[in-house]
Amino acid sequence: MTKTFCLLLAALAGAPIAVFAQETAAPPANPITASEKGFYTLVSGEVVAAAEKMPEENYSFKPTPDVRSFGQLVGHVADAQYGMCSIAMGEQSPMMKGIEKTKTTKADLVAALKDAVAYCNKAFSTMTDAQAAQIVQFMNYHVAKITVLSVNTAHTDEHYGNMVTYLRLKGIVPPSSERPSARPAQSSGGER
């Protein structure tokens, strides 16, 4: 009994050492920017997946006459990516023509959306937390650059909600409602 007790005591005494000896993942170098990028990656991936999932013939679909068509919605989201992320990066938007007004086919709109997401991913990958705290003019406000990126994420998510409605009205299950095993790998924002 004493031998068993001593072995048990030794094992329990060594357990905390084993736990502390395990490698822990180092926090990201820029945790604020990395946290926002994580949410943006999820949201932008869902938007791209929704754009890819809607059939071409439904890109002109409007639930009511006074709202954007599905294709216009995709173009609007792409335009907003360029507009907001260029402000956060402190540069002129490379897409001044307006995707919503100039692109009409599914192929062109999906490609433009993917390019816009890649542009915003560049904003995240090149921005440090110190840069994220720098103040810029956004609409009528002076805000931190990370706020502009956060508003872009929220705006993208808001319009994903619109896209879900359009998809459901056409009898299509939106990407976020599919079972994980049925989801295709997301090509723009990374894996879930």
Closest CA to 189 of 95, 81, 54, 73: 81
The answer, as to whether pTM is greater than 0.85, is: no
Q: Report domain extents, the chain.
A: 29-175
**Which one has a higher pLDDT value, 60 or 184?**
60
Q: Which contiguous run of DSSP H or E holds residue 128?
A: none
* Model pLDDT for residues 67-91, shown as the tens digit of each residue: 999 999 999 999 999 999 999 999 9
Predicted pLDDT of residue 184: 56
Gap between the Cα atoms of 89 and 44, Å rounded? 18
Predicted pLDDT of residue 95: 85
Q: How confident is the model at residue 19 (pLDDT cuts 50, 70, 90)?
A: very low
Q: Where are the alpha helices (DSSP H) in the chain?
A: 2-21, 31-53, 70-89, 99-102, 106-126, 129-132, 145-169
- Whether the pLDDT of residue 105 is over 80: the answer is yes
Domain 29-175 carries which CATH code? Answer: 1.20.120.450
